[in-house]
Amino acid sequence: MYLLVGLGNPGRAYAQTRHNAGMWAIERAAARWSIRLISRGTAQRGSGRLGSEFIELAGLLDWMNLTGPPLKGLLREFKIKPDNLILLHDDLDLEPGRLRIKQGGGSGGHNGIKSVIEALGTPQFIRVKIGIGRPAPGLDAADYVLQPVMQDEMAVFTPCLEQAVDALECLIHRGLSTAMNQFNIREKPIQDEA
C-alpha cells in the first residue's frame, strides 16, 4: 500500500498559489483514477486502487510549516512505513514545468519538507518535486510561493501536473529507478538547422 500526499496551504486564499502545486497534482490523480477526495480530520482523503496496488491519497489541510505531525498520524493510521510514502510538493530550484523524483535528502529550504523530516525522524521517503522556478530579482521567495499562478503560467503548469500523475503511475507500477530515469530528464532545446 502507498500513501500519496500533496502539500499545500488550506483555504480559498491559497488554493491557486504556487505552494499548492503538490495538492493540485493529488487532485489530478484523484480525478484520473476516479477516487473521491473527502475532507476528514487533517486531510482531504480518498482510497482506491491503481491496478493491483491499493493506494491512499491525501491533501493535507494544515499549514505547510506544520505538515509533519498530521502526516505522521496518517502513516500510523494506515500502518504505512515512510518507504511507501510519496510526497508531492513545489520546488523553487526547478524551472516551471519540470519534475524531479528522488528518495531521501534534506529539506532544500522547504519548510513543509523540513516539518515532515522532523516528525518522521527520517528523510527516506519519495518526493515528486514540481518546478515553480525562482522569483524575479527583488521578490522574496516566501512571497513568491504564496502568489497565485498567473494565467499565462498555467500553460506550463497544466501539462506538468498531468506528467506528475504519469510519474506516480510509473513509481507505483515500475519502481523508483525506472521513474527517475524516465522523468528526471531535461528536454534538449530545439536547435535551428543551418
Q: Is 111 annotated as a binding residue?
A: yes
Q: Is 110 a catalytic residue?
A: no
β-strand pairing of 99-103 with 126-131 = antiparallel
* Phi/psi of residue 99, nearest 5 degrees: -115, 155
Contact call for residues 110 and 68 (beta carbons, < 8 A) = no
Q: Is 181 annotated as a binding residue?
A: no
Cell triple for 90: 513545489
Question: Rounded to an integer, what distance in angstroms lies between the CA atom of residue 194 and that of residue 192?
Answer: 6
Give SS3 for 105. Answer: coil
Q: Is 65 annotated as a binding residue?
A: yes
Contact call for residues 88 and 130 (beta carbons, < 8 A) = yes
Catalytic member of 19, 89, 110, 173 = 19
- The residues annotated with a catalytic role in the active site are 19
Binding residues for tRNA: 14, 65, 111
Binding residues: 14, 65, 111
